[in-house]
Structures are given as structure tokens and as C-alpha cells.
Structure 1
Amino acid sequence: MAGIELDYNDITQIFRENLKIENLVKTIQSIFLNSRYSSKIDYKPYFQRNYVWDDEKATYFIESILLGTEIPPLVLFQTKRANEVIDGRQRYETIQRFLNDRLILKEEGLRSLKALAGKRYSLLDEEIKESFENTRLRILQFSVVNEPSLSEEKEDKIKKEIFRRYNSGIMSLQKEEIERAAYIHDTLSNHFYKCINCDGDLFSDLVSLFLPKSKMKAQKRDKINVLLTRIRTLLTLPRVPISSYAHGSSKPDIIRKYYYIFVYNDSPDETLYKFKEVIKVLKQIQTELRKQKHFLSESSLFYEVVFWALYLIPLEKFNKNEIFSFCNCIANAENISYFWDGIDADNNSIKMIFEPTGSHYYKCKRQIAPTFDLAGA
């Protein structure tokens, strides 16, 4: 890659706003044995090094697949002509060589499946071949969207830059892309995704309540992935001990742990119905606060906190009068003393409490903080 240009100023904007990353999961069969798909894959673009794995290393990789070992994703870049392999040529070509009987499994490369030594793919038992073909591989597919003026020169730079970053270990995925991969087979997440994607009003409400400003120009699919990460947190937090969450070193790991314990097996229809009912109340609160031109009307952190509270109370008790009363209390929060009783904050500043940066866990001066009855406020 010595020929890579050093000036990437002309594609910086594309990386920020027009580079789309899709997380796909496909079986080996659907990638390699489907001629319609495989014919569009260019696994040896000019900037890739040649195939360099010896048969021992290739054998060890094939054995890893057969044993169910986690395989790094193939990284593709979609052009008008093909899907070019940006990262994973050695893995891709090894699988292809094995399926085409061009690789004989070497005893030196086998650590556990010694009985397969000396065999080609066509000589394997049907059960083993079926297991191999049904193995799922992750694919990270890059493409440039909404950029009609993209020239071949710029496209070439983008491919090289992705290649350079991956091979230097500095190409990081968006947090939401990692989340999406982690929950790709989650029935509840998929149910929410379909509903949000089809229900324009719900999508619009969630964007106004929870989507960060930095994501407002993202593609709809990417926005939904960001929202799904928030939604899983919202559904899980009411069931997490607050001290565990506040003091935990990895909040995503805490959410994931409790999500699979308490939320994962919940009825998708019932969970979605309750979620939408809470969102309706949040939108009413937002409307009222906007009338008052209160800064919290645009605070996603504020709505996350209120969601947590509303999820724990009977919503039928929270009528329009309560909403109006609640919003008035929020508007005058700094002058309501019992809001601050036991809260270890420097001053009674609601702006400080909902500041969008920094830590928001305020310790109580007593062991148990006073209870605030939201519905009765």
C-alpha cells in the first residue's frame, strides 16, 4: 500500500455523512455456493496482497470453522460493479479453495479433528459438509450513499482508507453497529425494528425524544439502530439495581446481562404495546414543555429518566391533569425543596442534573433517597 495518497481531505465529509455500514449474516452456502452472489465478489482487488497462507494454516482455519470458533467478519466495499473484499481475503480464498477441492486438509494443521487429515471437501461425510455449508459468517459491507458526484478517484481513496485503517487496527465500528450484530437474532429487537420502520409516527416520536443531535443526518436504518440501543436500555433499566448500574465499569455489559435475564423472553407484542403507551405520555409531556419553552423539552436524558419512572407506575392513573401538574413541577423544580432533599448536589440546579455530558449519578446523603410519587406530583 505504499502508493496510498496522503491527502484525504476531499473524502472526509463522505466518511462522516455518506459512508454506510451494514451488518449482514450469511451462510457459507449462500456466499460461496450461490453463483449469483459469489460472481459479484472481487476477493483480490489490486490493493490486496496475494494469497499467502500455506496449507497448514489454511487447514487450521477450516478446522476452526468446523469446531464453531468465532470467525472475524469479512469486510466488503460495494461498488457499482462488485463487492470488493477489503479485509478477509485469506479467509475468503481459503474457504473457496476448500469448497473447490483445491485444499487437502493437513494433519499438521489439525488440532482436534485428526480424522479429517488427507481429506478434500468432496470426501467429507454429508453431515460434516452440511454443517460447514450452514456455518454463518458475519459481513461488514461498506457503501457510499447519497453522493451522486462520487468519482472513481474518490471511491478508490475511500476503499484504500478503509483497507489502511482495518489493517492498522484503527477502523472502529459505530457502537450501534456492534450492538446490532450482538442482537441480530433477538426476536424482541427485530419486532421493534419492523414496527418502528413501518410506523412513521412512532419513528418520528422516538427521533424527537431520544435520537442524539449528532445522528439527525444519518440514514433511517442507522437512526433505527441507534434508537434500538436506547430502547433496550430503557426496557432493561427499571429491572437493574441502580447501584449496580451506577458503579459498573461497563454499562453496555450490564444492560446486556440484565436484558437477557429479564427482558429477552418477554412477549414482543405486550412489550411493544406498553412501550408505545409510555411514549404517548412522553410526547404529551414534551408538547407541554415546549409550550412553556422549557430547555428540558429537548433533553433526551430527561425523557429517559421519565420513561424509567412511567414504566414503573400504572399509566391509567397518569391523565392530562397529572401531565400538566408534572410539567409545572418540572418548570419550578429549583424552588421545590423536597425534590432536593437527600440529593448530594452542589446546588439546586436542574440544568446541572440534566447536563448532557459527564456523570449524572448523584449520591444520596442518606441510605435511602426520599420517594417521589410521580403520578401524584
Structure 2
Amino acid sequence: MEITRSSFTISEIRDMWQRRELIVNKNYQRSSSVWPDSARTYFIDTILNRYIFPKVYFYQVFDKTRKKVIREIVDGQQRLTTILCFLNDDFPLTSRSVKYQGKRFSDLDEDLQQQFLTYSVEVDIIYSAEQSDLLAMFTRMNAYTAPLNPAEKRHAEFEGQFKWFIIEATGEIGPRLVNFNVLTSKQAIRMHDAEFLTELAIVLDLGIMNKSDTSLTQIYRKYDKSFPREAEFRGRIYEFMQLLEQEFAPLKNTFITKSYVCHSLFCALMQRKYGIPNGNEFGTQTDGVFFTNLQKTIDALSALAGAHELQDISGPYGPYVEACLSTTHRVKQRKIRSIWLYNALI
């Protein structure tokens, strides 16, 4: 078996497909089902914004009947057929594409069409291989792939509205969470940023709960087919991130940026300004603002962060510190932290 690394423009792939020199090998494709519009839009938007996507695999054979070389798609069917459908104007882009919502390929200006058609797709071309060789190759490739964590499994299982909301939010907010030291780069690579944002969505949907794979999966399932609160969730989560980066910038590199503390800070802020389900358990005042005195709020939050860093359980912030030191994702500790952080919003 031989493998050659190559690349083709989307224009070249389209031409090969139209000449039937590129076909789908259904022996290797997991499913012939079509991605939902949200998934197709996100993928096309990836190309329009010149981001890369994982390479695809072709198996090159000689068709004796037609006396010509044929390339079979052995991995990448959904990506390539989505590209071809978009070129054929089969679907418009949804709101998942901020810049190009509502546009089909023919609606794009000439320069953007040219940019799309000249986009380079990385391809590995496999030669001189039997079916058993191909199966062995993919088996070996998968053997060296790290097992999926729960967040990755959810994104493999679901294809609906909530998943693509989280993917979009992760693309926009994930790097900013790393920059603000809420998460590490290593955590972001394994989708802890998607998990964190899902937890914030759960707060808006149901209030403060224990962190569990069950609750995380349930919100994906609940909003898989329809997500009527998407705009609300997006607005509040993005508002929180902007608040961290701007008004709360002095808190960067303090213990307020611990991910579990940031979760509780989100609960406190959302209850103070908007109200969250069962939020009256820790904060009765919901008056449309996050705080009235920024400097006093920063000072109060800094004091909590300092006590946490020193692990000062005997001082005036003892209950808060204790709630930061163990079982940090349980509802009891989350509520205690939220009460203290709510009261720091002056």
C-alpha cells in the first residue's frame, strides 16, 4: 500500500465529481445521511473564513470498463458532499454564519466565489491497496487516537441546534477563556471550553445544579431539534465574557478566574441582573444591573479571591473558602459560592 499526500482545489474536486472520476465508497462511510443545515452552514462558513478542516482520503483505482483512473472517497463524504451541494445552490446558509446568513453560493460576490473555488483541500491518496489494507490502516489510525472524553462523545452523538450553538460559542469565546486563565490550552483542546459553556447554559435553563454527564447530555437532547432560547442564551453568555475582559479585567490572574469560581460568578451576575431559575435562594434582588459601584465590587471580589488563594478558612470569608476547596462542582458548594459572590456585587 502506498500513500501520496496531495491537495485539490474545490474547483478540481467539483470537476472530478461531475466527470464521475470521484465517487463515494460506501464500504467505508459511516452514514449516507445529510448533515442538518446548522452543521452544513458551520462547515461552509469554515471554508469561507479560510480556516482549515481535517484532510480527506481517496483510494485510487483503475476502472477497466471505462479505462480511466477513479478515486473513491473513503473518508470525508459528508464534508465533500456538503461542498458540492453548496456549489449547486441546494441550501442557503443559516444564522450559524454571521457574515453570510441567507446566502447560497450564487449569492456570493464574484471574489468570494473565486476564493471558495480555489480553497485547497488536503487529501491523502491511497494506491495499490486491497480492502483489507484500507481497513487495517483505519484501524491502526484509530488505535492511536485518544479515547473520547464525555464532551467529545456528546458532540459525536448530537447534530442538532444546541450542539452547533455550543460549537459557535466555543469558537468565539473558547480562546478568550484561555486568555483570561479560566481554562488552560490543554483543557480547551479536549473541549473543556465547550463543557464550561454548556454548564453556563444549564444555569440559564434550570438554575444551579450538580455537574454531571447526565445533566450536560440532557440539555443537548432537550434543544437538539429546536432551540427557541438561543438568542437569549448567546446574549447573556457573551455579555458575561465581555464583562470579565473589560470591567473585571483587574481580576485576571486572581483566584476569581478558577473555572468553578467563574461558574458561580456567572450565577451571581445573572441572578442580580436578570434572575435565574430558583435564584431567589441566594439573591432576592433582581434589578437589571450587575452592580452599581464597580470599584467596590472589584475590591469585594478581590478580597474573596485573596482568601481563597491563602486557603483562609478561619477568617471572615471561611464558608466561601471552604466551598472552593472541595467537591467544587456539587450544588451545595456552588450555592454557597454564589451567595458570597452575589453579595460582593455592590
What is the TM-score with the length of structure 2 in the denominator? 0.46
